[in-house]
Structure 1
């Protein structure tokens, strides 16, 4: 049974339970399996040798998630070819594709944890009560070691974009 973490996060002020471990800087990044589309899965190994900025959002169809993904799409253009920016949510791949097309997202890779919430439980961001992912940011170096983590305490708040980008820039 996966670890449950209480008292660490809220949704509009209401306490929520996160499933999975609290990862820290210096930890080896856990492997994960998420969907690129309905039939194709990818894992951490698919991005081997790259610096990875993983932006985790509950759903692209909400205001903060939309803004977060657009911001990281802009930043991705400036970070260089050795950096990959992944946005992971439990939105279906169809919805992610539709949203990216409408929003003009062309640098961020959207991945879906809809199938078995493998990323959510591996990275400690699955919200037990609603089965969505808690907003968070992970920066993982080319050797798959976590170099930056931000678990937001309140789901409706924005992450610290500047600190996440600075963590990536230190590795480039």
Structure 2
């Protein structure tokens, strides 16, 4: 069961599992371009589902960004934040280890990954590690949306040494 600030929420869409292929989805980057992150070839991806405008989510992105420095693992965030807010956050962080994207337009990621909370329309916190072939190596749908994910397990699945 997933909760948001202690209250149960209903996740809409299909819950993904390790061993399955990450579905294609289209999101908007900070320059308002439509992109399909699963079309990035040749690298493992940590797909983080936070909102950059909250302290816990901002901390999550910063921890992943810094853990991935010097690796070839790509960090992609998907949130419901508007691209303008994501760009402002990216400019403050000054870190190139992240592709920040928004699902505000079509909600195609929310539908593909089963992370949309029916009660508030936001995305539940989740982390996926995807290999270059698109196979999901690790998934975590965080039980309490206001809590941080298990960084160690996600990084281990991505082959990143601490």
Decide: shared fold, TM above 0.5: yes
Compute the RMSD of aligned alpha carbons. Answer: 1.4
Indicate if the aligned counterparts of 1:76 and 1:108 stay in contact, CA closer than 8 A: no
The match for 1:72 is 64
The 2-side partners of 1:112 and 1:16 are apart by 21
| Long gaps (5+) in structure 2 | none
The 2-side partners of 1:143 and 1:164 are apart by 18
Indicate if the aligned counterparts of 2:11 and 2:114 stay in contact, CA closer than 8 A: yes
Residue-pair matches, total = 160
Q: After the TM superposition, list the runs of 4 or more consecutive aligned residues in structure 1 that deviate by more than 6 angstroms.
A: none
The Cα shift of 1:148 comes to: 0.3
Indicate if the aligned counterparts of 2:30 and 2:86 stay in contact, CA closer than 8 A: no
| Long gaps (5+) in structure 1 | 1-7
Indicate if the aligned counterparts of 1:60 and 1:66 stay in contact, CA closer than 8 A: yes
Structure 2 counterpart of 1:63, from 30, 48, 55: 55
TM-score scaled to structure 1, two decimals? 0.88
The Cα shift of 1:12 comes to: 1.1
The 1-side partners of 2:31 and 2:95 are apart by 19
